[in-house]
């Protein structure tokens, strides 16, 4: 199956930048990467392994383990496989380089992740508020310890 071959190729080429890679379910693979060399890894996913189609990106908050996992979804139009490229960020002051240089369409989704989780993306061209109202009083809604403090009247 093409997922297996892609996984084998990824593990072989980037064994030092990834922590783990596995098949999540048919037609979907999951790669957990380290923070260093993340942008180069994404770039090689796009150019070498054919994941040229950006889909979305989002985050998951694990307050118990003090980490936020940021996931980038990309599609491969040739093999019809979806990649979920993940990276773990510390929960206090999460920062990471932006992937808009690799997949331009991550623009909107990274703005949303900034609003919802508080992740700062270095080098983002257009970090302006996206979904939340302009008179939002602070707080990041999708974190698990959000108690509704930012909601306006």
Partner 1 sequence: MTEPIIKPDVMRISWGPQHPMSGQTRILLDVDGEKVHKIIADLGFTHRGIEKILENRSFFQGIIPIERMVMADTTNIGMGYVSAIEKALNIEVPERAKWIRSLMCEMSRINSHLYAFGLQAEATGYFPAVFLWTTVDRTILLDLFEELTGARWSYNFILPGGVHKDFPEGFQAKLIKGVEYLRRRFEDYWEAMVENAVFEARCNGLAVLKPEDAIRLGATGPVLRGSGIPMDTRKDDPYAAYPDLDFDVITEPACDVMARTKVRYREIGESLKIMEQVANEIPEGPISTKTSFFVRSKPAEVMSRVETARGELGIHMYTEAAPNPYRVKINSPTLRNMYVFERLAELDEILMADIPVVINSIDPWYLDSDR
Burial of residue 103 (number of CB atoms within 10 Å: 0-12, 13-18, 19+): buried
Report if residue 58 touches partner 1, rule: CB under 8 A: yes
Stretch that binds partner 1, among 11-19, 34-42, 75-83, 91-99 (CB under 8 A): 75-83
Report if residue 124 touches partner 1, rule: CB under 8 A: no
Q: How far is the CB of 16 from partner 1 (least distance, A)?
A: 25
For the chain, state the CA radius of gyration.
16
The span from the CA of 52 to the CA of 75, in Å, is: 7
Stretch that binds partner 1, among 5-13, 36-44, 50-58, 88-96 (CB under 8 A): 50-58
Between 38 and 73, CB nearer to partner 1? 73
* Cα separation values, 114 from 7, 8, 21, 45, Å: 30, 33, 26, 24
Report if residue 55 touches partner 1, rule: CB under 8 A: yes
**Site size for partner 1, by CB under 8 A?**
35
Report if residue 107 touches partner 1, rule: CB under 8 A: yes
CB atoms within 10 A of CB 12: 8
The span from the CA of 53 to the CA of 33, in Å, is: 19
Nearest one of 25, 43, 37 to 102, comparing CA atoms: 43
Contacting positions for partner 1 (CB under 8 A): 24-28, 52-56, 58, 60-61, 71, 73, 77, 80, 82, 84, 103-105, 107-109, 128-134, 141-142, 146
């Amino acid at each position: 199956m093409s997922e297996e071959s892609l996984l084998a190729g990824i593990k072989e080429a980037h064994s030092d930048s990834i922590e783990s890679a596995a098949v999540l379910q048919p037609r979907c693979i999951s790669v957990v990467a380290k923070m260093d060399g993340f942008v180069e890894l994404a770039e090689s996913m796009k150019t070498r392994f054919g994941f040229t189609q950006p889909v979305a990106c989002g985050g998951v908050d694990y307050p118990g383990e003090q980490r936020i996992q940021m996931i980038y979804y990309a599609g491969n139009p040739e093999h019809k496989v979806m990649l979920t490229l993940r990276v773990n960020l510390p929960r206090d002051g999460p920062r990471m380089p932006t992937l808009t240089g690799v997949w331009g369409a991550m623009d909107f989704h990274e703005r949303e992740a900034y609003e919802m989780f508080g992740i700062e993306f270095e080098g983002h061209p257009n970090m302006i508020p996206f979904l939340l109202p302009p008179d939002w009083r602070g707080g990041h809604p999708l974190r698990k310890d959000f108690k509704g403090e930012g909601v306006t009247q």
